[in-house]
Structure 1
C-alpha cells in the first residue's frame, strides 16, 4: 500500500502551522482534520460521526464529575486544611514547610486530580509562606510545582481518564491503582531532595503541635479526604462505577463544603459551575476533534510508519522505551498534557505493545513523563502559574529546580523499566 505523503504533511503540518499562529488547539485539530479528509475524498458525514464517537463513551461521563468535585473542594478550602495537616505531620523537621508542601500536594492531588489546580490552590499561600520563612522564591516555586505532579498520578486523575478513552476503553480502576506507587515514589524522592537541601542550606524548622491541635487538624482534614475513599473505595469494591463514584463524590463534597466547612455560598457555587462548564467545553471540543485526528492518523498509517522507523534502528525494548520517553519529554515542553495524551496514545500504544509493554504500564509512564512537562519551559502550565504567584521570572525558578528535575527523571526511568512499580497493585486487585 502506497504512502500518501501529501496527506500526512497536510494533517501534521496543518496542525503545527495553525498552532504556530496561535489558533486554539481544538480548532487547529478540527481544521487540519477537515482539510485532510477533503484531500482524501472521505465523506464529511464520516468526520461528523467520528467526532460524535469520541464522546460516545460511558467512561467520558466521569470527566465532568471529576472536574466538578475538584473545583468544589478547591473553592471549599480543603487545601488550607490539608496544608495544616501536613504541617502537623512533618512541619517540625528541618525544612518542614517544604516537606509539608509535598505531603499536602500528595493529599490534595488525590482530590483535584490536577497538577495545575494543586499549584493554584496550595501554591497561592505556601509559596509566599515559604518565602517569608526565608526560603529562596525560586526554591519555593520548585518544591510546589514538582510536587504537584503527584496529582496526575495519584487517583483520581483526569488525565488517566483521557488515556483510558484514547487507549480504547481501558478499565479506569486498574489505571487508578497503577498510579499509587509511582505517585508516592515521586513524592518520597522529592522529600529526600528537600531533606538534603535543608541540611545544606540550614532551612528553618516549623512549630510543634500539641496532641489536641494535631487531632483537630486530622479530623478536620479527614472529612474532606473521605472524598477519596468514596471514589476509590466505590470503584475497587465494585459498588460503583467510576462515573457513579464521581457523581456521589460531588454530592458529598457539596454537603461537606456547604454545611460542615461552610466555605461555599451561592456566589461561590456560580463560580464553580462557570469554571467547570468552561473547562468541560474545552475538554469536550478537544476530545471530539482529536478523535477525528486520531482516525486520520490511523487511516494514513502514521503509527505503522513510525513503528517501522523505530524498529529499523532497533527493536530492543530498552531502546524503544528510551526513544519514546525522549520524544514525550520534548513534546511535553511544547504542548498541553491532555492534548498530547489524546493525540499520541493511538500512535505510541501499538508500538510499545509490540515490545511487550502492558497498556496500563505505558499509561502511567506516559502520564508521569508529560507531568514533568508541566514543570518545564517554555509552556509548562504549572511552572508559569507558580512563577506568577511568586512574581519571579521563569529562569530564576528553573535554576533552583535542577535537583528536582533529576529526581523526577530517576523516578521516570524506574517506572519505565521496573513494571512491578505500576503492575503490582492492579495484579492484587484481580
Structure 2
C-alpha cells in the first residue's frame, strides 16, 4: 500500500484550509498536488481541470439550481409565516410551545425550501424576537433553531441527497427521498422532546390553546405550501417526472404561489434570481472541485486502500459503522456538506457495501451525520446564520447546543443500526 498519495492529499488539503484558502481552491490544489505524485505537471493540470468540467456534466445536477431558486422564492413568498401559524395552533399551548413551533416550522420549511440556511434565517427572524418576548433565553432559542434547521437536508426534497446520488454512481433519488422521511421526522421529535423538558424545567410561559376552527383555518392557509411536497415527491415516486423535472415544477409552483400570496412582486424577481445564481455558482464550484478530487483518489487507488485498511481492523458491521460515523462527525466539523459527500462517498461506500449495507441506507446515515457538522464551529454555516439572526455569540450558544447535539447523535445511532427506519418506505414503494 502506497501511503504517499494519501499523505500529500490530506496534508495539502488541511494546510490550505488552515491558512484560510477557500474550500473549493483547497480541494483543487490538493488534487493537483496528489496527481503530481504520479504524472508530470502539464498532464496533471489538464486532468484536474478536465475532471472539474466533466464532473458537472450531469443531468441530475440541473435539479440543484432549480431547487435553490424555489427555496429563494419560498423564503421571500410568505410561506414561513403560514407554516409557523399552522405549527402554533398544533403545539403552541404546550411547555416550550414556541421552541416546538420552531422545530415543526423548520422541518416543514427546510423540507419545502431544501435549504438549512434559508430555514434558519426565516425561523430565527420570525420566531426569535417572539421567543425572547415570552421570556425564552435568546441562546436556547438560537440553539433550537440551528439544530432543527438542518432537518430539511434529510427530509426531501434535498439537494444533498441528489449530490449523494451522483457521488454513489446513480443510487435512486426517489428511494433516497423516501428514505429520508422517517429519520428526519424522528430526529425532529427527539429535539422536540428535549425542548419540551428544558422549557418545563425553566418554567417558560405557556401559549394559548387554539380552537379547532383556528387549527382548520391555519391548515388551509398553509395547505398550498404543503401541497408542494406532495406534488414534488409524489410526482417523482409515481414516475410522472424525474427529480430534475420536479425541481423545475417546484420553481413554477412557488413563483405562482408567491404572486397569489402577494408577497412577491415582479420587481423582486431580479434580486431573487441574482441571489439564486450566486448560491448556485458557489455550490457548483464546490461540486466540480470535489468531483476532481474523487477522480484523483480513484486514480491513486486511495478508496481501495482505505477499504482494505478498515476491513483489516474488523469485519464486524457494528464496529465499522461506528468508525465511519466518528470519522464523518470529525469531517463535518471542518468541511462543508457538499464536498464532504462527494469526497467521502467513494471512500466509504465500497466498505459498507462489502458488509451488505444498502447504499440508500448509507446515504441517509451520511447526510444525517454531516448535518450535525453544520451546527459546529469553525465551519458550521447554519451555526453562523442562526447566531447572526439571534444577535448573540457562538460562545453563548454552545452550552444549550450540547444537549441538542447529543440528541441528534442518538438519533444518528438509531438510524445507523436500525436499517428499517431508512429502508421501510423505499421497500414499501418497491424502489
User: TM-score w.r.t. structure 2 length?
Assistant: 0.95
Higher mean C-alpha displacement, 137-146 vs 176-185:
137-146
Q: 1:7 Cα shift?
A: 3.3
CA contact (8 A) 2:311 2:351 kept: no
Per the alignment, residue 387 of structure 2 pairs with 387
Q: Residues 73-84 of structure 1 correspond to what in structure 2 (within 5 A)?
A: 73-84=74-85
Aligned-partner Cα distance in 1 for 2:59–2:336: 24
Higher mean C-alpha displacement, 347-356 vs 191-200:
191-200
Per the alignment, residue 315 of structure 1 pairs with 315
Per the alignment, residue 305 of structure 1 pairs with 305
CA contact (8 A) 1:154 1:176 kept: yes
1:83-109 per-position Cα deviation (integer Å, ceiling 9, x unaligned): 111001111222211111111111111
User: TM-score w.r.t. structure 1 length?
Assistant: 0.95
Per the alignment, residue 403 of structure 2 pairs with 403
Matched, 1:118 2:116: no
Aligned-partner Cα distance in 1 for 2:198–2:52: 50
Aligned-partner Cα distance in 2 for 1:375–1:49: 34
Specify whether residues 32 and 378 from structure 1 end up closer, same or farther in structure 2 by C-alpha distance, changes over 3 A only: closer
Aligned partner (choices 3, 24, 29) of residue 22 of structure 2: 24
Q: Residues 19-58 of structure 1 correspond to what in structure 2 (within 5 A)?
A: 19-41=17-39, 43=43, 44-58=45-59
In structure 1, the gaps of 5 or more residues are: none
Higher mean C-alpha displacement, 47-56 vs 157-166:
47-56
Residue aligned with 1:148, SS: helix
Q: 1:267 Cα shift?
A: 3.5
Per the alignment, residue 290 of structure 2 pairs with 290
1:142-200 per-position Cα deviation (integer Å, ceiling 9, x unaligned): 11111112111110011111111111121100000000000110111111112212322
CA contact (8 A) 2:83 2:109 kept: yes
Q: 1:45 Cα shift?
A: 4.2
Q: 1:236 Cα shift?
A: 1.0
Q: How many residues align?
A: 427
Per the alignment, residue 363 of structure 1 pairs with 363
Aligned-partner Cα distance in 2 for 1:242–1:144: 28
Matched, 1:375 2:375: yes
Aligned-partner Cα distance in 2 for 1:284–1:165: 13
Aligned-partner Cα distance in 1 for 2:196–2:140: 13
Runs of 4+ more than 4 Å apart: none
Higher mean C-alpha displacement, 53-62 vs 83-92:
53-62
Q: Residues 109-148 of structure 1 correspond to what in structure 2 (within 5 A)?
A: 109-148=110-149
Q: 1:357 Cα shift?
A: 1.1
CA contact (8 A) 1:59 1:169 kept: no
Q: Residues 209-248 of structure 1 correspond to what in structure 2 (within 5 A)?
A: 209-248=210-249
Aligned-partner Cα distance in 2 for 1:406–1:8: 32
Matched, 1:103 2:104: yes
Higher mean C-alpha displacement, 214-223 vs 271-280:
214-223
C-alpha RMSD over aligned residues = 1.6
Q: 1:378 Cα shift?
A: 2.5
Aligned-partner Cα distance in 2 for 1:314–1:284: 37
CA contact (8 A) 2:55 2:291 kept: yes
